Amino acid sequence: MKTSPAPFHIPLSRRRLLHSLLLTTGGVITGSVYAEALTLTPRATEGPYYPDHLPLDQDNDLTMILGGKAPASGIITEFGGRLLNVDGRPIRDAAVELWQADNNGCYIHSRGAQQGKERDPGFQGYGKVETNAKGEYRFRTILPGLYTGRTLHYHIRVKQNDKSMLTTQLFIAGVPQNDRDGILRSMGTAEQRLSVIREFTPKSPGSKELAAAWDIVIGHTPEDPEQSGRGPGGPPRRRDGDQDIKDALFGPSF
């Protein structure tokens, strides 16, 4: 009998539980058991840099701007997966938005450029995509730039019928700054935090592009705007540590 592969967001302990259930039920897992295993993606602050002016090009490839002269600088990354209800059903025709710092740690926001740094004119900064019939979404972008007080992170919002269902942040496993990031540490339960820290690995051996899989699980009710309230303001500043991050993701020879 065919069974669905375990989604990426199920921690190992849950996977073992499901595996043992498969054995004891002869491969039959009921919808309710499967639904119980899904972990809601935790909410996180929107932060101060949701774009206050949207770019003309808003597609899901942030590395190239339509009519632009040069591609974005930075390490190319791709991530994607499925948007699911907590009961495990794919959600189609929902909008998934991404906004993030460019390679210099700057956002496309009127206060989003850090002191002494300029925004990368080749980086789109914001993009969105609609989930397909299978609930799938995908982005091609860059590794976000680092700035003081935060670890590397992507900002994500899910909208259905123009209502915000989830505002969250996505993190990269192995980044040394993750352990002391106040926002990451405040997000949901330990299991929920694990669900937003994904493995970004080279697309193929020796590749300098990274890829990751991330399923997003949302509840049924729109979020209270106050729950996604703005975090502390102030311009971002760069911190040293880029080489530590590259070493962690590609190995010391990068």
In the complex, least distance from residue 49 CB atom to Fe ion, rounded to whole angstroms: 6
In the complex, least distance from residue 179 CB atom to Fe ion, rounded to whole angstroms: 18
Which range of residues in 10-18, 44-52, 193-201, 237-245 is near Fe ion by CB under 5 A?
44-52
Question: Nearer to Fe ion by C-beta: 82 or 150?
Answer: 150
What Å distances lie between residue 136 and 23, 46, 96, 228, 242, CA to CA?
29, 23, 10, 24, 31
The H or E element containing residue 184 is: helix 182-185
In the complex, least distance from residue 107 CB atom to Fe ion, rounded to whole angstroms: 7
d(CA 36, CA 31): 9
Count residues binding Fe ion (CB under 5 A): 1
Residue 47 touching Fe ion (CB under 5 A): yes
CB atoms within 10 A of CB 6: 16
Question: Nearer to Fe ion by C-beta: 93 or 118?
Answer: 118
Residue 125 touching Fe ion (CB under 5 A): no
Q: Residue type for 16, please?
A: R
Cα torsion 110, 111, 112, 115 to 10°: value is: 130
Which range of residues in 46-54, 109-117, 206-214, 219-227 is near Fe ion by CB under 5 A?
46-54
d(CA 77, CA 48): 24
Which range of residues in 24-32, 40-48, 195-203, 224-232 is near Fe ion by CB under 5 A?
40-48
Which range of residues in 28-36, 39-47, 89-97, 133-141 is near Fe ion by CB under 5 A?
39-47
CB atoms within 10 A of CB 184: 20
Residue 122 touching Fe ion (CB under 5 A): no
What residues line the site for Fe ion (CB under 5 A)?
A: 47
